[in-house]
Amino acid sequence: MTPLFLRTISLRFRLTLALLLAFFLVLLDHRLSVMQPTRMVLNSIVSPVQYLATMPEEIYLRLSENVRSRFQMRQELSQLRNDMLDMQGEMQRYQFLVRENERLRNLLASDAREDSLRMVAEVIAVDSDSYSHQVVVNKGTAHGVFIGQPVLDDQGVVGQVSSVGLTTARILLISDQSHAIPTRSERSGIRVVVQGVGDTSMLEVMHVPHSTELEVGDLLLSSGLGGVFPEGYPVAVVKSIDLDISATFAKVTARPIANLDRIRMLLLVWQASSEQQPIFNPVQAVRERFSKTSSELEESVEHDD
């Protein structure tokens, strides 16, 4: 049955063609970066594969939740109620502090801090490449996600959005080799840049002079200087300081605060005053936009009359 002489185009030609095409793609994507819209479309096309890949885990989680005993549920519920009370207490204090802070800032005639909006996103894929630390989450342009958006978890800074599809977004973690984040030491106020090295449990603090005041255990907060991350979120804790005089700079490493190796739920952050705003109910938003445009159309028609 197998046709013997079906191959009409030689293999070598096919390979040459494929390599040329790939070369052009690399050039277009890397040097000119005109592929962002294409990537968005392709991301949306392959997103079923990503959803399929997370399905077994999700089913397992749902099942294990179903078979949990009544006793465990009650225990967890009371635990959550307690936590909630705690949080509410803290929140009251927080509100008071925010108001006080605002008043003080007004007294000093400096700008008030911006509020931020948050949305919970779930991780649906983790990269299997060890040299690129990225995860994919289940929120995209339909939810108002934009490129360069800061991403946190319940502990600290996780990374930033590097590309978006309609219902998915790719997040570059702070541990990726191509990622760096400006930070400030909480104790001494020293500004340092923290860069990823491709290890989820270690970051490198760049260009620290030997006379540094940094100490092991110092908390590094985002400084807000890069314009990407909002100010004051915990990033990392200084793990070791090696003052080797023969090197140009002191070798300082830090441990990220967020649990980068087991992230599951993430927080996407929007600045309250920025152009981009979260869309919590995409279906309704589309419907509203649609009805708005149609009513505008009707109005314009009436004006024409």
Partner 1 sequence: MMIEHSSWTQRGLILATFVLGLVLALMPMSLGLAAWRPDWQILVLFYWLMAFPHRVSIGTAFILGIAVDVLLGTTFGIHAAAYSLVAYPVARHYQRIRHFSLLQQAALMGFLVAAERTLAFTVEHYLNNATLLSSYYWPVLSSALVWPWLYLLLRKIRRRFHLV
**Span near partner 1 by CB under 8 A; candidates 50-58, 106-114, 206-214, 267-275:** 50-58
- Cα–Cα distance, 220 to 180 (Å, whole number): 13
Does 259 bind partner 1 (CB under 8 A)? Our answer is no
Helix, strand, coil percent values for the chain (each to nearest 5)? 40, 25, 35
**Of 3, 6, 222, 274, nearest in space to 115 by CA:** 274
| Residue 259 main-chain phi, psi, to 5 deg | -80, 85
Contacts of 28 (CB under 8 A, 6+ apart): 34, 35
**Span near partner 1 by CB under 8 A; candidates 30-38, 75-83, 107-115, 226-234:** 30-38
Task: Work out which of 29, 146, 249, 278 binds partner 1, going by CB under 8 A.
Answer: 29
- Cα–Cα distance, 172 to 133 (Å, whole number): 6
**Span near partner 1 by CB under 8 A; candidates 23-31, 140-148, 211-219, 248-256:** 23-31
Q: Which residue has the tokens 């009251």?
A: 92
**Minimum gap (Å) between residue 56 Cβ and partner 1:** 7
Task: Work out which of 37, 56, 217, 227 binds partner 1, going by CB under 8 A.
Answer: 56
* C-beta of residue 219 within 8 angstroms of C-beta of residue 185: yes
Does 130 bind partner 1 (CB under 8 A)? Our answer is yes
Task: Work out which of 23, 94, 96, 290 binds partner 1, going by CB under 8 A.
Answer: 23
Does 128 bind partner 1 (CB under 8 A)? Our answer is yes
Q: Is 91 left (phi over 0), alpha (psi -120 to 50) or beta?
A: alpha
> Considering only residues 236-255, where is the footprint of partner 1 by CB under 8 A?
none
Applying CB under 8 A, the residues found at the interface with partner 1 are 1-3, 6-7, 11, 14-15, 18-19, 21-26, 28-30, 35, 38-39, 42-43, 45-46, 49-50, 52-54, 56-57, 123-132, 134, 136, 162-163, 170, 177-178, 197-198, 200, 261-262
